[in-house]
Amino acid sequence: MDATDQARAAAAVDEARQWDRLMRMAALGAIPGDGVNRACLTDLDRHARRLLIGWAQDLGLSVSVDRLANLFLRHEGTEPGLAPVLAGSHMDSQPNGGRFDGIWGVLAALEAVQALRQAGVATRRPIEVVAWTNEEGGRFAPGCMGSMAYAGYAPPETWDASTDTEGLTFGAELAKHLALEADIPRRPLGVVEGEAPFAYVEPHIEQGPRLEAEDLEIGVVTGIQGSRWFTVEVNGKSDHAGTAPLRLRKDAVQDAVRAITALNALMHDPEDVLRFTVARIEVSPNSSNSVAERVRFSIDFRHPDRTVLAERGDAIERVVQGAMTTCTAVVTERFNAAPITFDRMVRDSIEKAARAEGLGTLRLPSGAFHDAQFLSRICPSGMIFVPSRNGVSHHPSEYTGPAHLAAGARVLAAVLADLANR
Residues that bind ligand HGY (CB under 6 A): 135-136, 143, 368-369
What spatial distance separates the first Cα and last Cα of the chain, rounded to whole Å?
Answer: 8
Q: Which residue, 57, 74, 55, is CA-closest to 66? A: 74
- For ligand HGY, which is the closer residue by CB, 159 or 369? 369
- For ligand HGY, which is the closer residue by CB, 302 or 410? 302
**Nearest distance from C-beta of residue 40 to ligand HGY, angstroms:** 12
- For Mn ion, which is the closer residue by CB, 124 or 395? 395
* Cα–Cα distance for residue pair 170/159, rounded to 1 Å: 7
92 near Mn ion (CB under 5 A): no
- For ligand HGY, which is the closer residue by CB, 143 or 197? 143
Question: CB under 5 to 8 A by kind: which of ligand HGY, Mn ion, none does 211 bind?
Answer: none
* Cα–Cα distance for residue pair 28/42, rounded to 1 Å: 11
Question: CB under 5 to 8 A by kind: which of Mn ion, ligand HGY, none does 357 bind?
Answer: none
Q: What is the DSSP letter of 403?
A: H
**Residue closest to ligand HGY when measured from CB atoms:** 368
**Residue closest to Mn ion when measured from CB atoms:** 102
Question: CB under 5 to 8 A by kind: which of Mn ion, ligand HGY, none does 276 bind?
Answer: none
Burial class of residue 246 (count of CB atoms within 10 Å of its CB; 0-12, 13-18, 19+): exposed
Question: CB under 5 to 8 A by kind: which of Mn ion, ligand HGY, none does 5 bind?
Answer: none
**Nearest distance from C-beta of residue 369 to ligand HGY, angstroms:** 4
Helices marked H in 199-343 — which ranges? 210-213, 252-266, 306-323
* Cα–Cα distance for residue pair 167/307, rounded to 1 Å: 36
- b/e sequence 62-100, b meaning 16+ C-beta within 10 Å: ebebbbbbbbbbbbebeeeebebbbbbbbbbbbbebbbb
Helices marked H in 60-133 — which ranges? 103-119
Residue range at the interface with Mn ion (CB under 5 A); choices 94-102, 154-162, 166-174, 310-318: 94-102
* Cα–Cα distance for residue pair 108/409, rounded to 1 Å: 5
Question: CB under 5 to 8 A by kind: which of Mn ion, ligand HGY, none does 143 bind?
Answer: ligand HGY
* Cα–Cα distance for residue pair 205/221, rounded to 1 Å: 11
**Nearest distance from C-beta of residue 88 to ligand HGY, angstroms:** 15
Q: Out of 35, 88, 102, 226, which residue is the one contacting Mn ion (CB under 5 A)?
A: 102
101 near Mn ion (CB under 5 A): yes
- For ligand HGY, which is the closer residue by CB, 75 or 370? 370
**Nearest distance from C-beta of residue 153 to ligand HGY, angstroms:** 16
**Nearest distance from C-beta of residue 101 to ligand HGY, angstroms:** 6
Other beta carbons within 10 angstroms of residue 178's beta carbon come to 17
Phi/psi of residue 87, nearest 5 degrees: -145, 135
**Nearest distance from C-beta of residue 143 to ligand HGY, angstroms:** 5
**Nearest distance from C-beta of residue 368 to ligand HGY, angstroms:** 3
Helix (H/G/I), strand (E/B), else coil: 415: helix
Binding site for Mn ion (CB under 5 A): 101-102
